[in-house]
Amino acid sequence: AETAVPVPRVAVVVYILKGKSVLMGRRLSSAGDSGHFTFALPGGHLEFGESFEECAVREVKEETGLDIEKTEFLTVTNVPFLNDPKPSHYVTISMRAVLSDPSQVPQNLEPNKCSGWDWYDWDHLPNPLFWPMEKMVRSGFNPFPV
């Protein structure tokens, strides 16, 4: 439900790491939502009472059908979308994880929100990236363990 006074919301996004690749899909946004047709990570809104890890596992399962493990906190970013038709503001928690079963294949379970999931090599990321991710990548952020 929309509230009269806009407030920042908490989002959790997940870098699922497979070799040197991450899972991404093109956003299909309804009118006013951000990043239409840009490549983004699986993720969504933190629900009441959830840990970041629980939210990551749930959103990945809902959106891709994949089961993840070794879910770890990476960083937090402040992401205002003030110039959008429907302005929003997210505090975005970035997590990383790996597949519980490396042979499991992603399914596009929310085809109204995503054009399909695929693995992209970190050194050859697709274009255009969803701008919060573009900003992180440009700043030198890397989700892989050192």
36 vs 103 by CB, closer to ligand 8DG: 36
- In angstroms, rounded to a whole number, what is the distance separating the alpha carbons of residues 55 and 53? 5
Q: Which does 45 bind (CB under 5 to 8 A by kind): ligand 8DG, Mg ion, none?
A: ligand 8DG
Cα angle 57, 124, 67 (rounded to 5 degrees) comes to: 15
Instruction: State in angstroms the smallest separation of the CB of 9 from ligand 8DG.
Output: 8
- In angstroms, rounded to a whole number, what is the distance separating the alpha carbons of residues 126 and 24? 9
Binding to ligand 8DG (CB under 6 A) within 14-33 occurs at none
Q: Does 93 contact ligand 8DG by CB under 6 A?
A: no
**Nearest of 94, 103, 110, 126 to residue 24 by alpha carbon:** 126
47 vs 69 by CB, closer to Mg ion: 47
Q: Which does 17 bind (CB under 5 to 8 A by kind): ligand 8DG, Mg ion, none?
A: none
Among 13, 16, 56, 57, binds ligand 8DG (CB under 6 A): 13
Q: What type of residue sits at position 24?
A: M
Helices (H) and strands (E) in the chain, counts: 2, 7
Token digits of residue 62: 């809902």
Residue with nearest beta carbon to Mg ion: 44
Query: Which H or E run includes 133?
Result: helix 131-138
Q: Which does 34 bind (CB under 5 to 8 A by kind): Mg ion, ligand 8DG, none?
A: ligand 8DG
- In angstroms, rounded to a whole number, what is the distance separating the alpha carbons of residues 137 and 133? 6
Instruction: State in angstroms the smallest separation of the CB of 129 from Mg ion.
Output: 15
Among 44, 106, 132, 143, binds Mg ion (CB under 5 A): 44
Instruction: State in angstroms the smallest separation of the CB of 123 from Mg ion.
Output: 25
